[in-house]
Amino acid sequence: MSVESHMSVESLGYLGFEIPNVAEWSTFLSDVVGLMPGAPCADGSLTFRNDEYAQRFILTKGAGDDIAFTGWEVRDAAALDAMRRKLEQAGVSTTQGSAELAANRRVEALFYFTDPDNIRTEIFWGPMISATPFHSALVTGGFVTGDGGLGHIVFGVKDWQKTFDFYTEVMGLRLSDYIKAEPVPDIKVHVTFLHANPRHHSYAFVVPPFPFPRKLQHFMVEAKDMSEVGRAYDRFRDKGTPIAMSLGHHPNDGAFSFYAKTPNGIEVEFGWGGLLVDDTTWQPRTYSQLSDWGHRPPGM
């Protein structure tokens, strides 16, 4: 088996959103979530940081009102070329990113394509490290990133098998586990969790039992200190941010977290304590509940 057959993206590097209400999102990310504003891009996009990277979240004004692209990091130029060859060999049409696009993404180089659910997906190497150290006045202990990337994302998809095959066989992610649950009577969900590095999952997906309002169901940021979750929960409520699910605990990744709604309804999970996966010993399991305590919707 060739080296390229083992090639994998290494972490979730950045997320881009096309939204009409950029100012509202900007206030939400900085004054509620606690991210640090980065320098605006040359194309006018606003950026936000949760670590030393120059940007992790990119906001562009537009009518899309959803996630616009995901960015996955590989280690170097050779790995970028290998991933592109692997995708092309799998029948995926890719496009080289221009120098202008690379400058806006603040990376050395990238290419892009669409995944099985028509999500623009970018793979890059060489992220710019900001000259300004990361600092959040609200999340003083900072966020868990490093080799684990910015956090995780969860999508609603159309075809479980196509998505699973693409993200495991082509993108190179590995199975963490499943949750097969019936959170309310007659509503069944099957969530699949995949990891690219020791973070329990960087990408998860579900074939929704009813249409999601947006392509992206939620993204997660992880604080280094458990108390930051409690402080954030109070802050979100004090700011009038709709809470989607109260404080709770997931049985599979061990995260203590809550969920709230961004200004356009995509949810953000603010958490702490996610498990790390060791591929030499990890055994995927199937869980029968989304949460073993808490994570209650409003009014419950």
Q: What is the pLDDT of residues 199-243, one digit of tens each?
A: 999 999 999 888 888 999 999 999 999 999 999 999 999 999 999
Amino acid at 205: F
266 CB-near residues (< 8 Å, 6+ apart): 17, 66, 67, 214, 216, 217, 218, 219
Give residue 207's pLDDT. Answer: 92
Residues 113 and 94 sit within 8 Å (Cβ to Cβ): yes
pLDDT at 33 over 90: yes
Q: Which residue has the tokens 């100012």?
A: 23
By C-alpha distance, which of 168, 203, 207, 177 is closest to 190?
A: 207
Q: What is the mean pLDDT of residues 127-132?
A: 98
The answer, yes or no, to whether residue 268 has pLDDT greater than 50, is yes
> Does the pLDDT of residue 300 top 80, yes or no?
no
How many residues in total does the chain contain?
Answer: 300
pLDDT value, residue 52: 98
Q: What per-residue confidence (pLDDT) applies to 1?
A: 41
Q: What is the mean pLDDT of residues 142-161?
A: 97
Q: Write down the H helix ranges in 7-98.
A: 22-28, 77-89
Whether residue 3 has pLDDT greater than 80: no
| Model-wide pTM > 0.85 | yes
The tokens describing 58, both together, are 């990119």
pLDDT in tens, 75-117: 999 999 999 999 999 999 999 999 999 999 999 999 999 999 9
Q: What does the alpha-carbon distance between residue 132 and residue 272 come to, in Å, rounded to a whole number?
A: 25
* Least confident piece of the model among 132-136, 143-147, 172-176, 185-189: 185-189
Q: Is residue 176 a contact partner of residue 277, using CB atoms and an 8 Å limit? A: yes
Percent residues over pLDDT 90 in the chain: 92
Q: And the tokens for 253?
A: 């990744």
**What's the token pair of residue 112?**
């892009």
**246 and 234 Cβ atoms separated by less than 8 Å:** no
Residue 109 makes CB contacts below 8 A (sequence gap 6+) with 77, 80, 97, 102, 124, 125, 126
> Beta strand 286-287 with 174-184: parallel, antiparallel or unpaired?
parallel
Tokens, residue 285: 């399991």
Asked if residue 6 has pLDDT above 50, the reply is yes
Whole-number Cα distances in Å, 145 to 14, 70, 151, 242: 11, 16, 7, 26
Closest C-alpha among 163, 146, 162, 145 to residue 154 = 163
